[in-house]
Every structure is written in C-alpha cells, then in structure tokens.
Structure 1
Amino acid sequence: MGLTTTLANALSGLNAASRGADVVSQNISNARTPGYARRELNLSALSLGGQGAGVWIDGVSRSLNQSLLTDRRLADADVAAAGTRTSFLTAAEQALGQPGDAGSLGGLYAAFDAALVQAASRPDSQARLQAVVDAANDLATKFNGLTDMLQQARMDADDAIATQVDELNKLLIQTDELNADILAARASGRDATALMDQRQGLVDRISQIVPVREVARDHDQIALYTTGGAILLEGNPATVGFSPVGVITADMTLASSALSGLSVNGQPVPSGPTGVLGGGSLGAQFSVRDELAPEIQMQIDALARDLMERFEAPGVDPTLAPGQPGLFTDAGLPFDPLIEEGLAGRIRLNTLVDPSQGGALWHLRDGLGAVAPGQVGDATLLNSLRDAFAAPRIPASGPFIGAGRSAGGLAADVLSQVASNRQNAEAREAYTTARQTSLTDLQLKDGVDTDAELQNLLLIEQAFSANARVIQTVDDLINKLIGL
C-alpha cells in the first residue's frame, strides 16, 4: 500500500469520524424532542481498482420501530375518543345533578312531591298552593335547561367536527408537500431526515383525529390509510367534506339529512365512531352529536311524557274536558305522542294554576276545568294529584325496564343510567391512557439512549485520533523522503 493510498484512507476515516460525531450530537440534543427518530451513520468500504481506499459515507438513516409507532398512534386516537365521550357524559351527569342536591332533577321531583303533600294537608293555605306552583315551575324549567344543555352539546360537537375536518385536510396537504420535499432532497443527495421528522409529527396529529396506518412507498414516500379502510393519502391527499349547521334541535338527525355526515373526495362515507373515519376524536364528536346526546334527550323526553300523562290520565282531575291539558302542558297544548322529540324542552306548567301568568291558585285545589272556587278545605284533588305522581306506572316510551315506577323512581333511573355510562367511559379512558403511556415509554426507550450515544462518541474520538496519527506518520515519512 502506497503512502498516497494510506493518506486517502486516513482522510476518509477522519471525515467519517467527524460526520459520526455530528450524528451523535444531534441524537443527544434531540433525545426528548417529540417526533425525532435516532440517527444512524451508514458506512461502507470504499474500493478503487481492487484496492482499499478508505470508508464511504452512504448517508444518515432514521432508526425507528414502525410497528411500535403505529400502535402508539392508534392508542393516541383511542385516548382522544375516550376523553371526548367522558367529558360529555360527565357534563350530562352534572346537569342532571346528584341525588339529594336541591337543584338536581331528582331533588326537584322530591320537592314537588313534598309540596303536594304539604298542600294536601292545608288546602286552604295560599302559601302552600303557591309552593306547589313554584316546585312545578322549577321542575319544568329543569327539563327545559337539560334540553338546552344537550342541544348545545350537539352544536358544540358539530362545530368541533367542522374544525377537525378543516385541520385534517390541512394536515394531509402538508404531509403530501413533505413527501414531495423529501423526494426532491433525496434526488439532490441532501439529508432528508429532518423533513421525515416533521412528516412524522404531522401524521401523529392526524392519528389523534382519525386513526391511520402509515404504509411505506418507494423513495421514502408514505401513504396513509384509516383503520376503517379509507384512503387519505396515496399519491395525492384526499379531501374530507363536512357541512356544519347553525342551530340543532332535538328532532334533527343524521338519518333525516338534517345534519351533515362526512364525505371523502365528494363521496359520502359512513360517519360516527364505527365509520371509515371513526376511532379518534372526530368519530367521538359524531358519537356525542348523533348517539350520546340524543339518547339522553330521549330519556328526559320520556320522563316529561310520563309526567304529563300522569296528570292527564282520566279520573285524576274530573273537571278536565277531553283533549284538555293537565297540570303540565306541551307549550300550552296536551301531549301528542307524534311529536315526543324535544318534549322536555317544551314542557310548561299549565297557566291556569299560575298567578304570574294570569291563572289562579284555587285551580290546584278545585280542578283545572272548574269555573269557580270550591270548598277551601277540600283536599280531594290535591291528594289525587299526589297519588298520580307517586303511583307505580309503566312508562310508554324510553329505554326503561318494563316495570311500574313512580315518577321520582324514573328520574332516578335516568341518572343511574347516565352515571353508569360515565363510569364505563372513565374506565375506558383510564385503560386507553395507561396503554398510551406504556407505548410512549417503550418508544422513548427504543429511541435515543444517551449513555449508548456517549459510548459511541468515545469510539468515534478514538477512531479520529487513530486516523490523525496515521496522517501524522505519513507526513513524517514524506518529509524524510524529501530530505534524502
């Protein structure tokens, strides 16, 4: 081996050692950077004319466990979905109120029952009759407020869907642009690993909205498919469509086309948590808008119907004419089973018994259809109203058990169901969060190990020193040859 070849070998070794030190420094400085993948310097032997000519730097590659990354992304989507569901159910449970709370639905049922009992014990007391009116108004107002809360939650979910669809489309366009930038960088021989880190961060954000699987393509390109089978990126980014609405009422549903679903490249696709774009925060918002909130609305509508029918039943108030509303009305009208949707938002106390609306308290004691006050000491009707309220009755609608329940018992059943769903959602969220944490920890352990990087740096320093010594030795030999 000649001195020239020896010098070339040593110089290539110095260059490789210098590049290796740069890679190690990048790894250590980005050890905790989200989306950063550990770099590895790829080297190969350089041979010219059948003789060794040093080391060749093939480039820098990213060391990444793609399977672990995919699992962690799916866990991110699960956490986002579970958190959305839990937040809604927690808010719904708080709106219903806890048993024993004065402003809870159950507490207002109990207060109304107590007011009827007290009024029946002193039917001549204007104060006690007014207490019944106040308790009934409070109960109707609670139903109205629950409906407003549920429909507002649906509108918030609709707005969130629109926002997330816009964000998803932007992220897909940016990912496609990075695909093109990476391809151009590779073609010009430049290092594209930093661009790949940026692209990984974008896909991480996409996976929280919609769970996706990344598929490698030639020349460091990627394609994205949802776990439901939709193509989000394959050569060109897909366009996800959605049309938000301004106001949502209880009767508006996706099935009736009053609410918008999703489309991909102009083609409608199944929406919701089990749709082709379901599984992440986007699917969870559809679940709130089209499943969770309507289910609770259906339950409180059934409660409102039960409350109205109890006091409209024949024999409860003999003064009522056929077709006349009872103590509670549907915005002034009797109950109509054909328009039960949203009934809880329209339930009102009959104005005949409310002095603030032009009515008279004596109608509570003497009958809604009575034309004149009767005996002030007659508690017959008040007792009949209380018996109707407390009597076991099988509700005509709603997801209740097929057994007779009092009005207060039905209200407790609704709270129990919502609380049970909230607990299940919290358990699911706890599981998904624990799984996400475990996968994140595994990914970090599989990433940059600073101790190992420092050990590599020591080896690189030794290689640099050895190559520098070879160059010094060659220089000394050349000087001696020149001096002969």
Structure 2
Amino acid sequence: MSLTSALNNVQSIFNTTGQQSSVISTNIANVGNSDYVRREASVTTSLSGAQVVSISRAQETALLAQYLQTNAKDSAQQTLVTGLESLKSLVGGNDYETSPSTYLTAFQQALQTFGTSPSSTTAAQSAVTAAQDLANSLNTASDGVQSIRAEADAEIATQVSTLNTLLSQFEAANNAVKLATSTGTDTSSALDEREKLLKQISSIVGVTSTVRDNNDMALYTSDGTVLFETIPRTVTFAPTATYVAGTEGNSIYIDGVALDAGEGSTTSASGSLQALLQLRDEIAPTFQAQLDEIAKSLVQIFSETDGSTSAPGLFVWTTASGATGATPAASDDATGIASTISVNLAVVTSEGGDATKLRDGSISGITDLNTSGDSGFSDNLDALYEALTEQRSFSSDAGLSTSQSLTDYASASIGWLEQYRSDATSASETTAAALSRSDEAYSNETGVNLDEELTLLLDIEQSYKAATKILNVIDEMFQSLLDIAS
C-alpha cells in the first residue's frame, strides 16, 4: 500500500467516524424524546476505505400502526370516564348523597312521619321541606346534565379546531418528507415530525395510514373516511351555545361524512371526538330522561282530582313556554320537566301557604279529602306514601325497566350510572395498559438506548484512535523521506 493510499484510508476513517459520532450524538441528545426515532449510520468498505453510505431510521410500521390504534382507543375511553365522573360528581360523588334517589328516600320518610302525626305542623313543614329538597335536587341534576352536554359540545369545537390545525401541519410535514425523498436527502427529521403529528391526530380521531409512492402518506378515519390525501380534508362542526333538555347537538363532518358517536361502557369510539359525541348525545340525554321520568311520576302521584278533572298538587312544573303545566299523562312527552319541577307555593309557609293542605289533599283547590277538618286525618298521607312504592309504568327511552315503583326507579337510575361508570373505568384500565405495552414495544424498537449509544461511541473512539496511530506512522515515514531527501 502506498503512503498516498494509506493517507486516503485514514482520511476516510476520520470522515466516517465523524459522521457516525454526529449521528450517535444526535441520538444521545434525544434520549427520552418519544417523538424521536433512532438513527444509524450505515457503513460500507471499498478500495477507498470505509464510508457512510446512508443514515437509516429505525422505523417500525406495524408497531406504529398498533400504537395509533391503542392510543385512539385509550383516548376515547379516558374521555368517556372523565364525563361519567362529572355526572357522578353532579349527584354527590361516591355516596350519591345529593342524588334525587337520596332525597326521595328522605321525603318518603318525612311523609311517613307526617302520616303518624298528622296534627303536627312541624311534621307537615318537615315533609314540605323534604319535598323542596327533592325538587331542588332534580333541578340541580337536570341543569348539571345540560351543563355537561354544553361543556362536551364546547370541547368538541376546540378539538375540531385543533384537528384542522394538525392536518394543516401534517400537510407541510408530508410535503417535506416527499421533497427529501425525491432529492435523496435524509428524511429522518421530516419523518419524525410527520409521525409526531400522526400520534396527536390519533388521540382525537381514530386513524389508519397508507404510504404511497415517493413516501407520500394518506390518512383515513377508522371507518374509512378520507382524512388526508395530498391535501387535508375539512373537518366541520357548528357548536351549540346553550343546552336544555331535548336540545340536539350538531354532527361532526369529516370530508362531508358525519362522524358516528361511540357506543357502550367499553366504548366503540376511536379518539376523543367520538367519545364526546357519545357523552353529549347518548349518556347525558339518557340520564336526563331518567330524571324527567322521576319528576313526571312525582307530579302524577301527588296530583289531585275531583273525579272529573285533575290538577298538580304538591309538585308543579312549567312547560317550555313558561306556562304552568297540567298533570302529564303516562303517554305525554314531558322532556325537561326535571328542570322546572317545584313545590306548590300553596303549602310553603314562607310564601303564605299552609303545609297541612298536603294532609287534606286540598293543595290544588279543586278538592278537599278531609271534609270534616279532622286534625288526625291520615288517609291521604298513607295513600301517598304507598303510591311511592307501587308499580308504575315508565318510558322505555330512559334505558331502565318500564315497570317498577318510583323509589326503585330512582335507585335504579343511580345504579345505571354507577354500573356504566364502573364498567367504563375497568375498560379504561385495560386500554391504558394496552397503550403502555404498545408504547413500550414501539419505544424498544425505535427509541434511543443510552447504554447502547455509549457503547457504539466507544467503538468509534477505538477506530479513531487506530486511525490516529496510522496517521502518526505515515507522518514518521514522510519525515524519514524528507530527511533522506535533505
């Protein structure tokens, strides 16, 4: 080997180790960066010595697809659990102490106490106060349900805006990947950016990807709707500012196709948007329907009749137009009645009413069951107490049994919510574990291991030292030749 060839080999080693060191240094600088995929300098040897021919990226397409799927499922499940926890907090948290069921039980007990002491004005006022607490709990729960729906709607609007921004950024990243691919330059940084955006998109809406010619990527939702193909598709949503019972929220459209809501406690949703739709359009309205059925039954049970006509008694309500509502029939639509139910002022002492009218059945003014004015009259109170535990018919739209007592129905409503929340929470633990395993598997294949990188750096250092020794020998040989020439 001539001195010139040896010198060229040394130069090649220096160039190669320099590039390798640069790649490894970049890897080490990104330890812990979940959006960075490890690079590796591919080295080959030729007559000119070792040289870096390419910078490869530890890409794992199958593991990435699995991560995107589990990320979308977990995002949806966690969103659903958060909404259910809000509903639970609305009715008192773990013990449901502010739920209509709890106040209905307290009212039933107060009614029983009044029935055993019908002449007691204190017992009468206690029963009326318990009735007011019950009505207030229904009002609060109903208003809270609609607030949760409004918050979900506002969050949908925010996430739709974020999704459109991410898709716009994805277009820029995708174009950068295509440009780098077509010009033969390193695509690693552009691919990292595109992949980071893809992960963020998958948490909002379930997504699948397809890589085409020139490293171009197309995105589709889980149900096959085009999300991005050369250019981003428009995601549209018209928010609704105010929600009351019966308000229907607007749909989310992706490329003109409506996005479906998730279903079930182990939700079928992929991404948070479908879970928010499920909360806004399925879960909250169902719970509202249960509250309305409870309120409707209270008005019916405590209504008074003279045999030909009937009128609300202890509990009254107002219609959507603001008028005082009549006693609703079993088949009547009383959507939103839980938000307006209240205790008739005719029995509220602070409003000039007389609480003993509850005993006499004379609240509405159309009848008086205690015609003799007997202070020990308890027949009406006993009948009302029994009516709370008698079998009644309920709407099938509320998701509960259509035939049971009002007290059982109120308890079943809380049971429905708790069962839904409990099942959703268990499912969220499963999806979180699946996401963690998927993330770990992907990270193990594409992430940076500091120990491995430091080991490679030591190997490069040895190559550099060897090249330095060769260079010193070449220098000595050149010096000897110069000495002979001189």
Provide TM-score, normalisation by structure 1.
Answer: 0.89
Q: Is the 8 A contact 2:14 2:467 kept in 1?
A: yes
- CA distance in structure 2 between the aligned counterparts of 1:78 and 1:65, rounded to whole angstroms: 20
Aligned to 2:417: 418
Distance 1:98 1:469, change over 3 A: closer
Q: Please point out which of 133, 138, 141 is paired with 1:143.
A: 138
Q: Please point out which of 322, 326, 336 is paired with 2:313.
A: 326
Aligned to 1:193: 188
One-letter identity of the residue aligned with 1:342: G
Verify: 1:66 aligned to 2:65, yes or no. Answer: no
SS in 2 for 1:224: strand
- Unmatched runs of 5 consecutive residues or more in structure 1: 47-51, 254-258
Cα deviation, residue 248, structure 1:
1.3
- The CA deviation string for residues 31-60 of structure 1, in whole angstroms up to 9 with x for no partner, is 2112111111123345xxxxx123342232
- CA distance in structure 1 between the aligned counterparts of 2:314 and 2:479, rounded to whole angstroms: 115
Q: Is the 8 A contact 2:302 2:384 kept in 1?
A: yes
Q: Is the 8 A contact 2:208 2:220 kept in 1?
A: yes
One-letter identity of the residue aligned with 1:91: S
Verify: 1:280 aligned to 2:282, yes or no. Answer: no
Cα deviation, residue 305, structure 1:
2.1
Q: Please point out which of 309, 333, 336 is paired with 1:339.
A: 333
Q: Is the 8 A contact 1:298 1:341 kept in 2?
A: yes
Residues 236-251 of structure 1 mapped to structure 2, 5 A cutoff: 236-251=231-246
- The CA deviation string for residues 229-276 of structure 1, in whole angstroms up to 9 with x for no partner, is 1222221111101110111121122xxxxx2112223x13233227xx
Deviates more, 1:300-309 or 1:90-99: 90-99
Residues 55-454 of structure 1 mapped to structure 2, 5 A cutoff: 55-97=50-92, 103-185=98-180, 190-253=185-248, 259-265=249-255, 267-273=256-262, 278-312=269-303, 317=304, 319=306, 322-331=309-318, 332-333=324-325, 334-335=327-328, 337-368=331-362, 369-370=366-367, 374-397=373-396, 398-403=398-403, 405-446=404-445, 447-454=447-454
- The CA deviation string for residues 160-195 of structure 1, in whole angstroms up to 9 with x for no partner, is 000000000101111111222344455666544233
SS in 2 for 1:58: strand
Q: Is the 8 A contact 1:99 1:107 kept in 2?
A: no
SS in 1 for 2:240: coil
SS in 1 for 2:50: strand
- The CA deviation string for residues 286-307 of structure 1, in whole angstroms up to 9 with x for no partner, is 1111111011111221222222
SS in 2 for 1:393: strand
- CA distance in structure 2 between the aligned counterparts of 1:105 and 1:79, rounded to whole angstroms: 32
Aligned to 1:49: none
Q: Is the 8 A contact 1:182 1:196 kept in 2?
A: yes
Q: Is the 8 A contact 1:318 1:367 kept in 2?
A: no
Q: Is the 8 A contact 1:311 1:327 kept in 2?
A: yes
Distance 1:241 1:85, change over 3 A: same
Deviates more, 1:464-473 or 1:35-44: 464-473
Cα deviation, residue 416, structure 1:
0.9
Q: Is the 8 A contact 1:278 1:284 kept in 2?
A: yes
- The CA deviation string for residues 443-468 of structure 1, in whole angstroms up to 9 with x for no partner, is 23222222222222222122222233
Deviates more, 1:116-125 or 1:333-342: 333-342
- CA distance in structure 2 between the aligned counterparts of 1:416 and 1:20, rounded to whole angstroms: 63
- CA distance in structure 1 between the aligned counterparts of 2:382 and 2:67, rounded to whole angstroms: 63
Aligned to 1:462: 462
Aligned to 2:321: none
Q: Is the 8 A contact 1:263 1:269 kept in 2?
A: yes
- CA distance in structure 1 between the aligned counterparts of 2:478 and 2:57, rounded to whole angstroms: 42
- Unmatched runs of 5 consecutive residues or more in structure 2: 319-323
Distance 1:320 1:373, change over 3 A: farther
Q: Is the 8 A contact 2:76 2:269 kept in 1?
A: no
Distance 1:102 1:89, change over 3 A: closer
One-letter identity of the residue aligned with 1:444: S
- CA distance in structure 1 between the aligned counterparts of 2:196 and 2:44, rounded to whole angstroms: 31
Cα deviation, residue 350, structure 1:
2.6
Distance 1:437 1:241, change over 3 A: same
- CA distance in structure 2 between the aligned counterparts of 1:101 and 1:443, rounded to whole angstroms: 42
SS in 2 for 1:340: coil
Deviates more, 1:420-429 or 1:174-183: 174-183
- CA distance in structure 1 between the aligned counterparts of 2:257 and 2:96, rounded to whole angstroms: 46
Cα deviation, residue 440, structure 1:
1.9
Cα deviation, residue 396, structure 1:
4.8
- CA distance in structure 2 between the aligned counterparts of 1:99 and 1:115, rounded to whole angstroms: 24
Cα deviation, residue 13, structure 1:
1.8
- CA distance in structure 2 between the aligned counterparts of 1:270 and 1:88, rounded to whole angstroms: 19
- CA distance in structure 1 between the aligned counterparts of 2:386 and 2:75, rounded to whole angstroms: 48
Cα deviation, residue 98, structure 1:
6.7
Percent identical pairs in the alignment equals 30
- CA distance in structure 1 between the aligned counterparts of 2:220 and 2:394, rounded to whole angstroms: 46
Q: Is the 8 A contact 1:116 1:132 kept in 2?
A: yes
- The CA deviation string for residues 391-414 of structure 1, in whole angstroms up to 9 with x for no partner, is 2334355333354x3322111111
One-letter identity of the residue aligned with 2:296: R
Distance 1:322 1:83, change over 3 A: same
Aligned to 1:43: 43
Q: Is the 8 A contact 1:99 1:106 kept in 2?
A: no
State how many pairs are aligned: 466
SS in 2 for 1:59: strand
Verify: 1:32 aligned to 2:26, yes or no. Answer: no
Provide TM-score, normalisation by structure 2.
Answer: 0.88
Q: Is the 8 A contact 1:320 1:367 kept in 2?
A: no
Cα deviation, residue 366, structure 1:
1.8
Q: Is the 8 A contact 1:98 1:104 kept in 2?
A: no
Q: Is the 8 A contact 2:286 2:399 kept in 1?
A: no
One-letter identity of the residue aligned with 1:207: S
- CA distance in structure 2 between the aligned counterparts of 1:206 and 1:102, rounded to whole angstroms: 40
